[in-house]
Chain A
Amino acid sequence: MSPRAAYTCHFCGTPGTGKELSCPACGSPTDVARVVSPSGWEELAPIPDLARLQIGRSTCQIEGELVPVADFTLAEGDSVYFAHHVLLWIDPGIGLETISLPGFRRLLAGMPVVMAHARGPGRIAFSHDEPGELVALPLHPGQTVDVREHVLVAATGDVRYEIVNPDIFYSARGSERSSSHYPLGYFMDRFTATTRPGLVLVHGAGNVFTRRLGEHESLLIHPSALLFRDASVAMHLHVEYPVGGGLSGWNAYVWLRVYGPGRVGIRSAYGPSENLSPAGLHSDWTERRVESTTAWYFMRDGQQQGPTTLAYVQGMALVKRLPADTPIWAEGLPGWLPVNSIGLCTKCGVEQPMYRTKWRPLGVKEWIWTIVFLPICFPFMLIGLFMSVRRCTRCGTMAR
């Protein structure tokens, strides 16, 4: 019987004896109090200077704290792969070769089309040319992690590498011209440990924070701040129009909404933002256009859940964590209605549900207009009778 582990790394979950100063798998210090902000973000404790990570028979030593260096000592038969621009120095005896990556699209996306591969025995060191932190992501067999592009420092040879399309994009109308934005890049790097444990080293600009989201927990983060996510974490765009900013979209906030379960990592330096007016083509998103005060309830597995926001339920349906026709209810609705039939009235000034219904003249004014312009309107009314619209439960405003 193996001796019981005295310590479990809070970052990567690897059991240890607790006698080491840092976790041998990911380098997180074992001798410091766990640093968690009250909001639930866990600040990644910087890997201590000269800490050693053990990967099979090879080791990786982390050197420096502002722009840290990953110094690998590769044993015979072990290997690492990396993008060529992070190489700092190398022993002359180490074997270097290139791996060609499929995909002309990678070339268009500005991503490396060739990965360098270093085979032991020998020493090789990497650093990313930016102040920040090195994040070690140990992978257990079968575990998968998605990392934003251009932040990979190195991965051990046994880890499978592929690219995935995050499908997060939007068009924006700027002050001078329209532009397309891919805040996570065209692709994300996906790393999977197959039969043996592996290690992925990534570089986070600034400070890195991680958070473990629970089942159905969601959070809004700056899209460009996302550093990595577990493959189980779902995400989509969310656009929020601040109250008083008008509905034209100027000064809108574009968020990335992430859903648990799983870990997400963010970095505190994430590139410049600009004033944008999202318009035109975009990936699936939810919107919040007016002040949100309505409490929404929905049914999951036959049980009533809530209160929550409409955007949350719509987002859960978007990422297929809920059926598209999930029953939802709020004050003012005639009953439980499918979430895909619900909208929000933008005329009322506050969040007011609109639900899908057949078009019918309701007020006196509508009846007068209908009778006066009946000959002209008749064809359109005929279409309208078969066309469903959304009608506000408060002011009667109709929208598609």
Chain B
Amino acid sequence: MERLRCDWCESTNTTDAQSCRSCGAPLHDAERVTDSGWREAPRIRDMTEIQFGQSALRVEGEIVPVAEISLVEGDSVFFEHHVLLWKDDYVALSVMTVPGGMKRVFAGMPFMISVAQGPGRIAFSRDATGEVVVLPLHPGMEIDAREHAFLLASHHVGYSFVRIQGLRNILFGGQGMFLDRFVSREPGVLMLHGYGNVLERRLAAGESILVEPGAFLYKDAAVTMNVVAVAGLAVGLFGGVGMNLVRMTGPGRVGIQSMYVHHATE
């Protein structure tokens, strides 16, 4: 039987499908790749439906998109509490405690992650103009996302965090102290919110690229990240204020956003 393969997430779909059932990417639009090798995140059409488990997820709006989920009994999603937009009265909310509590509190990150259990409908949006990126996770995949970038993840996905190594990386990396790490043991879905437009590039082994720290959004766990000072751009009386960029080294995917967000590290 003939199947359509999604360019974005590589899931297979039936030939009559208009959008990928795993990530919502339009299937009949050509992939938009820049001359420099960045591909644009798919523009998920308004009211596109995405399946995960037995539940359905719908992306609504295009300026500040809303993710509306119809959860069935037994399915759940987890999220940071401040992205809730509305919910049905009977959707049960609970709390999932994340290990490393005090360290996360000092880093300004939530140490309690909220969980919504089905059945019922619940909707999320993040307070910024941008795009929703759907990353279906296949078993064994590990993805690192910058702090506060994740909108929600299905209960199939394991959530932990990794501490950014090196004082220089923490102070000048623009990412704070931690990265959220999502590991999947069974197929699941992860939704990130990117400020502005989102672009992705796949780096070959050993290939590297310098990225403005505030633009980093997500990467495969295999991609390494180090802060480097750009020579010749130091200003100020003693040249103490310079320009720092993040060097990403492959192999793996790197996602960036077109609006820069810098998290405070004090």
A binding-site residues for B, Cβ under 8 Å:
35, 37-39, 41, 43, 66, 131-133, 205-207, 209, 218-222, 225, 240, 242-245, 250-251, 253, 266-275, 291-292, 309, 311-312
Contact = CB atoms under 8 A, between A and B. Distances in A.
Contacts of B138: none
Interface of A is mostly: loop
B202 interface: no
A35 B68 CA distance: 14
A268 B124 CA distance: 8
A205 B127 CA distance: 9
Given A242-B114, A243-B95, A266 B86 contact: yes
Interface of B is mostly: strand
Contact of B60 (A43, A131, A311): A43
Contacts, number: 119
A383 to B, nearest CB: 39
Chain B CB count within 10 A is highest, among A205, A218, A271, for A205
B246 to A, nearest CB: 25
B90 A266 contact: no
Contacts of A273: 81-82
Nearest to A256: B86
Contacts of A225: 85-86
A207 B85 contact: no
A244 B127 CA distance: 27
A220 B129 contact: no
Interface in B145-189: none
- Report, as a range, how many residues of chain B touch the other chain: 35 or more
Interface of B: 46-47, 58, 60-66, 68, 70, 81-82, 84-90, 92-97, 110, 112, 114-115, 121, 123, 125, 127-129
Contacts of B46: 35, 43
Contacts of A37: 47, 58, 60, 68
Nearest to B127: A269
A129 to B, nearest CB: 13
A344 B92 CA distance: 17
19 contacts: A38-B58, A39-B68, A39-B88, A41-B68, A66-B63, A206-B61, A219-B86, A220-B88, A242-B93, A242-B95, A243-B95, A251-B112, A251-B114, A253-B81, A268-B63, A272-B82, A273-B81, A275-B81, A291-B92
A35 B86 CA distance: 19
A43 B58 CA distance: 12
Given A39-B70, A131-B129, A292 B90 contact: yes
Contacts of A275: 81, 110
B63 A131 contact: yes
Chain A CB count within 10 A is highest, among B60, B89, B121, B128, for B89
B89 A268 contact: no
B193 to A, nearest CB: 11
